[in-house]
Amino acid sequence: MADAMFLLFKEQIQSAIRNRLQTIELLLKAPYCDERDERIEEHVHMIGKLLVLEPAPARAQVSAQSSWNRIAQKN
């Protein structure tokens, strides 16, 4: 159950990042104006926040779980 939720969360984050990148691509094709640049900056800022939320790669998660299991077995 937790693995499915983890994958769903990761997919949602990646989808949100892709959507923001597509929006930036469209904005870059629009004529220049200050509002356009502000919107691009907002999207770039949000992508940065989403990248912080994105879960670590599965290998790192497995490694952390293995370490936790070893600690739990010792106690």
Which tokens is 45 given? 């800022």
Structure tokens at 51: 């990248």
Instruction: Calculate the average pLDDT of the chain.
Output: 82
Indicate whether 75 pLDDT > 50.
Answer: no
d(CA 47, CA 72): 37
Could you list the residue range(s) of the whole structural domain that residue 20 is in?
Answer: 2-74
Alpha-carbon distance of 73 to 66, in angstroms, equals 11
- Residues 27-63 have pLDDT tens digits of 999 999 999 999 999 999 999 999 988 776 654 554 5
Query: What is the tally of structural domains in the chain?
Result: 1
Mean pLDDT of 7-27: 94
pTM above 0.75, yes or no: no
